[in-house]
Structure 1
Amino acid sequence: MIRLGPTFLLLTCLLCTCDRAQTNETGSRGATGQRHEISGQAMGSYYRITYLGDSIPFLTGSVDSLLDAYNLELSAWVPESKLSQFNERDSGVDLRGTQHFIPNLELAIKISRETDGAYDPTVAPLVNYWGFGAGERRTSTDYDVAEIARLRTLVGLENIELKGERLTKKIPGVQLDVSASAKGYGVDLVSELMSARGRPNHLVDIGGEMRGGGTKDGAAWNVAIRLPDEDKTKIASAGTLPLMNGRALATSGNYLNYYKVDGETYSHTINPKTGMVERNTLLSASVLAPDCATADAYATACMVLGPEKALRLIEARPEMEGYFLTRGDDGTLVTLKSSGL
């Protein structure tokens, strides 16, 4: 374990690139060719794509169209999306003609089973109750135990059924939330687009979730573990991790997605089994995996499980690695990492 000083008591782990790309299409030239960067807004956050080789005309438009199409299927903030339609109806939806919904749902079901329900795509009613997702922020520290118990009956894979291209709910009120893997899936989509357009050497970053395609001039794309405090302009780095050949890195943490009511902090990690806001000593979880959607969902599961169980979960999967920031007994920040790191 690496102990960092008490200055970093409540820090969490976000990601930023160490190797900042050129901000125009005529940047520096490396061993594998010209280096370019484009950026924009997507999924309630930013995206930034760095790639090597000749410039791709109209790439920004292609990326925006790709992510917009994804949102029309799976965004909880787009009223006409398939996800919103499913959540609003008592029965279900026809998924014919969709491209992304079924792969996302099948991945979510797989990871929910692998994590024993620590990650569950049917957690949406509880997420909304606590003021995240499509829910309204709470104005009181009081909560209704009976209502939480009722909402918990809506949570669980047994409450949905996917038959072919038809998704149904077993009881009214069941809702889906795949936001825990949405940005990661978007990263994978863009990474696949870059490879299809003949630019295998690239780094895709959507809101801090990243995937490194190929290499950067023959070496890995280095990304940093960022240690922010409440002042988002303050940045400190705890070190770097390498991404290459499609390896992806995603981080989940409570530090930048929370609100306070009368001094009580409500963070966005909801335990599907208890129905409560999860509070444990794990401040953030970074997971490396072969694809970003998987890394994203597993990082969320790790936050629910807490540091010890999270570390065991990742150690049992040789294709993954984990980097966890926890609060030690003496108030210092403690870094735990899987053996492969």
Structure 2
Amino acid sequence: MDLRFKNILYTLILVGAVVIVYLWRNSGEPVLVTFTGTTMGPIRYSVKYYDEKERNFKTEVDSILIAFNQSLNTYIPDSEISQFNLDSVWNFKSEYFFPVLELSDRIYNETNGAYDPTVMPLVNIWGFGPGEQQFPDSSAIDSIKTFIGFERISYDKNQVAKSDRRVQLDFSASAKGYGVDVVVDFLIDQGINNCFVEIGGEVRVVGSNIENDMPWRIGIIDPNSTEGSVRQFAVIELENRAIATSGNYFNYRVVDGRKFSHTIDPSSGYPVVHPLLSASVTAQTCMEADALATAFMVMGHEKAIKYLNEHPEIGAFLIFSTPSGELSTYGTVGLNVKMSGQ
């Protein structure tokens, strides 16, 4: 081997060694970054993700959620949605209003009005919103029902309008899920490939929990739980999916010894009365899962199962009571559910 060839070979080996050392030093193991906070008033959020650079995006996430609330939070007097509710037409000021209208329109029609963002006046009169708590009579309910219905809303990519000034929008049945999507989309834009984002119990995950080399795990609350004693009924494993749960176990009013659910049926104007106790829905986006979980609680388990059979892209785990008072469940095919204690 001549000297020139030896020098070239030595140079290639040296360069290769330098490249290997550089790549090794700059390809550290992903680190789990976690942080929590509050949004939409007192609602807790939790963010977990793996990042080789160990970046903490809490400041950015908080800023995003502040802007999100300024658009769609009915408890903020000067939010976009609050201003629209006082007027007849609103020109969008943010990117958040149009997408939730578009999804609401589709889910409203697919569920025959079980999911209806115009139900807010009925929610308020039953004492579950920012309005004055009352115990309404049938005439008051019938009067409000004359301006309930998403068909009274029209919109395009620039503005939203209503055919009756009394119509009010409230996206609380999908806002937590939508907020989750907004945070997840931000993390994806930052190059995050494995994350878990939860707002008030609504969750969307990307990738897996790589520290344990397992899918992300989400607990389902036992419907017999109380606020002082929350028990886990089951665990669902997810990858690249969202899940939202709606139930009537905590949020209710008691009037003259009678318990009234916070889930209002827009068609009747009254709180729902049926055996479905909890609906956990999985979908590509958390906003869709959140809206459908609410719709299922209005529809009841039999109509919900019919919907699921017609929409195999949606997953669900339903908990309902039998005529004998025992708990029964329904899970869609392919949903990875593990009952507590298994």
Instruction: State if a TM-score over 0.5 links the two structures.
Output: yes
Give the one of 282, 285, 292 matched to 2:279. 285
1:87 positional shift: 1.0
Question: Following TM superposition, where does structure 1 have runs of at least 4 consecutive aligned residues deviating by more than 6 angstroms?
Answer: none
Unaligned 5+ segments in structure 2 are 1-27, 336-342
DSSP-derived class of the 2:133 partner: coil
The number of aligned residues is 305
Q: Counterparts of 1:32 and 1:337 in 2: how far apart (Å)?
A: 37
CA shift for structure 1 position 230: 5.3
The structural deviation recorded for 1:57 is 4.3
Q: Secondary structure of 2:271's partner?
A: coil
Specify whether residues 56 and 88 from structure 1 end up closer, same or farther in structure 2 by C-alpha distance, changes over 3 A only: farther
**1:137-286 equivalences in 2 (<5 Å):** 137-138=133-134, 140=135, 143-217=136-210, 218-227=213-222, 229=224, 231-245=226-240, 247-286=241-280
Describe the superposition over 1:208-232 as per-residue Cα deviations: whole angstroms up to 9, x where unpaired: 1001111111431011222164542
Instruction: Give 2:333's aligned residue.
Output: 339
The one-letter code matched in structure 2 to 1:190 is: V
Tell me the SS of whatever aligns to 1:64: helix
Name the counterpart of 2:40. 43
Pairs within 5 Å for 1:12-31: none
Matched, 1:127 2:123: yes
Q: Determine if contact 1:154/1:173 at 8 Å carries over to the other structure.
A: yes
Change beyond 3 A, Cα 1:55–1:227: farther
Equivalent residue, structure 1, for 2:51: 53
Counterpart residue number, 1:315: 309
- SS of 2:78's partner is coil
**Relative contact order, CA 8 A, sep 6+: which one is greater?**
1
Equivalent residues of 1:307, 1:326 under 8 A apart: yes
- Select between 61-70 and 36-45 the one with higher mean Cα deviation: 36-45
Q: Which whole-Å CA distance do the structure 2 matches of 1:340 and 1:213 have between them?
A: 18
Q: Does residue 77 of the first structure (1) align with residue 40 of the second (2)?
A: no
Mapped partners of 2:253, 2:307: distance in 1:
29
TM-score by length of 1: 0.85
Larger mean Cα displacement after TM superposition, 307-316 or 282-291: 307-316
Q: Secondary structure at the match of 1:161?
A: strand
In angstroms, what is the RMSD of aligned CA positions?
1.7
Distance 2:199 2:54 in 1: 19
> Aligned residue for 1:12?
none
Larger radius of gyration: 2
SS in 2 for 1:339: coil
Q: Distance in 1 between matches of 2:233 and 2:106?
A: 32
Structure 1: 5+ residue runs without aligned partners? Answer: 1-30
Q: TM-score, normalised by structure 2?
A: 0.85
Higher deviation after alignment, 155-164 or 114-123: 155-164
